Amino acid sequence: MAVNRVPVLKRCRSLDLDPIFLGIDKKSRRQKTRGNKKMSEYGLQLREKQKAKFIYGVLEKPFHNYYLRADRQKGLTGPNLMIILETRLDNVVFRMGLARTRKEARQIVGHKHILVNGKQVNIPSYLVKAGDVIEIREKSKGSVKYKDVLEATGGRLVPEWLDFDQENLKGTVKELPSREVIDVPVDEMLIVELYSK
């Protein structure tokens, strides 16, 4: 399995991205120095795609498959793509505050700690639907780890399209998110322009 081992803050700096979107509250003290090079149109489009892939932790092939899926759906391709990425199980676990970062959420899902509608799911890319109930399995609920995580993520706002019960470590997808409520700094129209060449 391919793993991106580039230091997170270095990658954030190169993509002009605030690490807070990844759930990391560190700041890089280094300044990105770039000569008087003007970025081309293709460069801007590529950077937006790399940004989306980096934020959601998706590699190139699955990301392209998501784009094709979004293109087949009704409506605009760009917002559809962002909604598909936002409804990945690892992202939903992160949004509920059950993990500090999306990478940690991916690991929690991969280690079979998550139940979707009472069934164990260990696929981070599983797409949730409206009405799905997501919870930590009974065996893991007493774990000190989740108490620590909830303390660390307590201040994070759970999006309005999710409903989360902190006592029972259980959440519900009330509805699929619209593009307006997805607070990710990505211009998806540039991604669509890149792929439609």
* Start-to-end Cα distance in the chain: 29
Query: Do 96 and 132 lie in a common domain?
Result: yes
DSSP labels, 14-29: HHT--GGGGT------
Of residues 101 and 2, more confidence is placed in 101
Handedness of CA 111, 95, 51, 7 (dihedral sign): negative
**What pLDDT, in 10s, does the model give residues 159-178?**
899 998 888 889 999 999 99
What's the average model confidence in pLDDT over 110-132? 93
Q: Which of 30-34, 107-111, 154-158, 180-184 has the lowest mean pLDDT?
A: 30-34
Return d(Cα 150, Cα 56) in angstroms, integer: 21
Domain count, the chain: 2
Does 59 reside within a domain?
yes
Strands 170-173 and 133-136: antiparallel
What pLDDT sits at residue 31? 65
Indicate if 53 and 73 belong to the same structural domain: yes
pLDDT at 33: 60
The verdict on 103 and 172 lying in the same domain is: yes
CA distances from 194 to 69, 74, 95, 188, 191 (A): 16, 20, 28, 10, 5
User: Has this prediction a pTM greater than 0.75?
Assistant: yes
**Residue 95 resides in a domain:** yes
Domain membership flag for residue 21:
yes
Residues 106 and 152 in one domain: yes
